[in-house]
Amino acid sequence: MMSAKTKRTSKHTYAERVLGAYSQAQREHRRQSVHIATLRAQVRKMAQARKDKLGPQWTSWVGKAVHRLEEQGFLRPVDSSGYVSMTAEGKKAVNLARRKLFGAAVSHVTTPFEEELLWRNVAEQFSPASHVSALRLSAPPVAGKKRRQSARMRELTEDEEEAEEEPSASRRGTTTKRRRTTGAVSASARQSVTTPQKPLSKMNKAELKAKILALRSGTPQTLQQADAESQHLREQLRNARRELDVLRRRSRFFGEPDEALTDLDEDEGDVLRAPSSGAVPTTPTPPKTDRPQMMGVTRTESGSLIPGVSGRPTPAPSEDRPSWPQRDVTPTRHGEDLGDVFMDVHADLGAAEGGGRVLTPDLTPTREVRDQDVDRTSGLREELTNAQISLNQMMTEAEILRTELAQKDERLVSLAEKEAAIAGLQAILTARDATIAEKGNVLSEHLEALTETRTTLEERDGRIAELQRIVQDTIVEKDRAIEETVASKDATISQLQAILESVKAEATELGDKAQAFERSADAFEAELLLLREQYVDAQETARNLQTDLENAVTRAEEFEERVAEMDNVLEERNSAKQLAMEMEERIREKKLELAEKNEMMLQKDALISAINAQHRVLNAELTQALESAQGLSTRIATIEEEAAATEARLRSEVDSVQVEMQELSESLATLRSEKVAVDSQSEDFRGRVIVLARNLQTSRSEHTAAKATILDLLGTMDAVQSSRDEEVRTSAAAKEALSIVEAEAAKLREQIHETVLEIQQCRGELAVKQVALVTEQTNSSMLRSDLTVARADLEKARSVLETSEKEIEGVREGLKDAMNEAEDLRVAKQADEGTISAMKGVFERLRKAQVEWISELDEKIASALPSSMPAAC
């Protein structure tokens, strides 16, 4: 069938609308807190953009949604003015939903549809409707079209809000639409819904300790219960033994005790570990008095038959029964008596011949006695069959007790396995404590190294500040000296007119000094060029560091992709674990089926062929289960190989990351060396500033000497007036030289400022590299922990497979034992049938002998009658 599209659009709950409006308002206003009026306006704007119709009381529902989110801990009021902000728990829930939907990508730009999915997921986390949906998922399925779980939860919350928002039918004139319900949820069903148990790999240290304590507290009680149940089963087995002994005593008529019962006692002795001290000893039966036996049959003193089972004489015949069975032997003439069929013929003949007595009908048993003997024989056969049936029932009960004892032993073994699991968990806890201690030591070492680098940077900052202060002091002193020289020159211009020649000489000296200053300026320019070249080299190193950082980012992205591949491998491992659980369940079902088949085989001997056919079917299913288990083991082996390959690949990646870390450390070392070079250059600059200060001091001394000469030559004013213009030009040249020196000082300030900026930039890059290093280390540690968890899960799956194989071998052995017991029972049954057929032959032979003896007796009686008649006459 073709899927038909519906015109119904997905509805948004007010919680989703409020969350989306909060996110949009926070992005637009760039604030952490948002006013509730802003949220209402944003909800209306988003509804208009989506063409979504709001109800008449949507403003109040927005306020209720905000208060509900505050109660659930997602939002919190900032103050009483109506501003709300997101809590830490809400931020955690948003980050969790974002990672769940979009992965671990940080720079993921979400679309409007993805935003709707995100806020819907967050609202479902904080909505109580998720528990109701879990109940509906656990309810039995109803025939109809299947829908997604999220759609059911969303429709439930929408229907609840619509039912609350719409007024009742009593207030409105129109009929309201009946609310659709998907199923009633009872209180017991709410109580039955529990959160799934967290796996051991995701538990923290406190949860693991609590689990260990719970297992330890539960183990002695279960052991006591198992001991009590095993004692009860042993008591039942003793009672069955006693009943079997009674059956043996009753079956004394058939000879020695049955071999099957003797074997059963021996097997039971194997099952029971030690005899109970409270068992009642069996008392020996008193010896019975010997009764006269004739032809191997016990009789009373009067000659009546005594059966071997009941031990009681034959009762008197009933009156309503016929005196002779018509189908066995034909009656004799004149209703004469046949006598006892079990009497010894030779003994009677000897007695008749030796004693001279004639056998009369009074000495022979009647026909009713013989009929009663035949009936007793049939009754004995029925008692024999009943005894066999009860014996089979007792054997089945003994087998059931054996299976129950085996189950108790298996429970004890499972308890031992739980103890081993507890020990394994303790080992895991100790290993985790050791790893935490190692990581703490490594972290403390990194923190110490970081503090050392910070102290060195602070010391260098102090040195740079001192250099700046020294340069500023020298500039201030130079400015002051220049001002003083200009004032003194202005004051002594009138006096310098008289000393023209000396001033010319001084002018030539000043020209030489100006040339020296020019040479120093050239040297400063050369040094400035060198500094610029060094700055270009520093920029190139910064670019190289930037490229290294970009390469590290790309490698981190590749690393995240490989982590995603590892997650896929883990998902495959989880599917393999689920398959192993399914195989365990199937093996349990097969065990139950085997137990049922064994009981049927023990209870019904007539259906041995059918049980053998079912046994073959079960063998085929077991072979299929073994083949599937082998396939699962091969699959787990392949998964282990893949995990080993991924582990090797991750190790290689970790090695490459370590190499990159070494490269980063080398680059940091080069940066430190460059910083040391910059520090040395700053020291050189400081030395040069000191040299300039010394030159200024020498120029001051020379200026004082020139001033003294000018004071001495005040008398030569006339000669100085002619050279005044030249002096003005020389002063202008001096001012220009001072301006050049000031420009060079400004350049030096700029260079120092640029070096400080470069140092700060190097610090920032160093911090970024350290952060990247820490993130790489955390990622590698997380991957190592995930690998350890995967290995533990694989080991568990392997142990489960081994235990399932052992259980299958135990089932096979039990099945073989059952087959052997069935064969023994079949042999015993054949032996019993042979004994019964032999008894039938003996009975037929006795009957023939009795008929012959009766006919011979009749002939003797007939021959004796004519001879006695004449004597009587």
Return the HEC string of 515-562.
HHHHHHHHHHHHHHHHHHHHHHHHHHHHHHHHHHHHHHHHHHHHHHHH
Residue 470's nearest CA partner among 745, 177, 102, 794 is 745
If pLDDT is split at 50, 70 and 90, which confidence band does 503 have?
low
Q: At 117, is the pLDDT very low, low, confident or very high (cuts 50, 70, 90)? A: confident
Domain range 11-133, its CATH number among 1.10.1740, 3.60.21, 2.40.50, 1.10.10: 1.10.10
The neighbouring-strand residues paired with 645 are none
Give the residues across from 722 on adjacent strands. Answer: none
* Size (the chain), residues: 873
Token digits of residue 835: 């004994």
The domain segmentation of the chain, as residue ranges, is 11-133, 202-271+337-475, 492-833
Handedness of CA 162, 164, 165, 171 (dihedral sign): positive
277 pLDDT tier (thresholds 50, 70, 90): very low
Mean pLDDT of 649-666: 70
Amino acid occupying residue 566: M
Contact 787, 562 (CB under 8 A): no
Is residue 288 predicted with pLDDT exceeding 50? no
| pLDDT for residue 253 | 43
pLDDT number for residue 61: 92
pLDDT number for residue 485? 67
Contacts for 595 with CB less than 8 Å, ≥ 6 apart: 403
Could you report the per-residue pLDDT of 234-244, keeping only the tens digit for each? 787 788 778 77
In angstroms, the first-to-last Cα distance of the chain is 121
pLDDT computed for residue 710 by the predictor: 59
Please give the order of strands across the beta sheet that includes 75-77.
33-35, 83-86, 75-77
Task: Determine the average pLDDT of the residues in 48-65.
Answer: 88
> Is 671:766 a contact under the CB 8 Å cutoff?
yes
Least confidently predicted of 128-137, 223-232, 605-614, 619-628? 128-137
Q: ∠ CA 766-770-776 to the nearest 5 degrees?
A: 145
- pLDDT band at residue 275, thresholds of 50, 70 and 90? very low
Does residue 223 surpass a pLDDT of 60? no
With cut-offs at 50, 70 and 90, classify the pLDDT of residue 657: low
Distance CA 106, CA 83 (A): 29
| pLDDT at residue number 696 | 66
Percent of the chain with pLDDT over 90: 2
| Predicted confidence band of residue 124 (pLDDT cuts 50, 70, 90) | confident
Confidence of residue 727 (pLDDT cuts 50, 70, 90): low
- The pair of structure tokens assigned to 298 is 């016990």
Gap between the Cα atoms of 509 and 724, Å rounded = 17
> What tokens does 565 get?
């591949």
Backbone angles phi, psi at 277, to 5 degrees: -75, -20
How many other CB atoms are there within 10 angstroms of residue 155's CB atom?
A: 16
Among 203-212, 338-347, 486-495, the least confident range: 338-347
- Whether pLDDT at 528 is above 60: yes
Question: Of residues 489 and 354, which shows the higher confidence score?
Answer: 489
- pLDDT, tens digit, 9 for 90 and up, residues 580-605: 677 677 777 767 776 776 676 666 65
Higher pLDDT, 212 or 55: 55
CA nearest 765: which of 667, 676, 693? Answer: 667
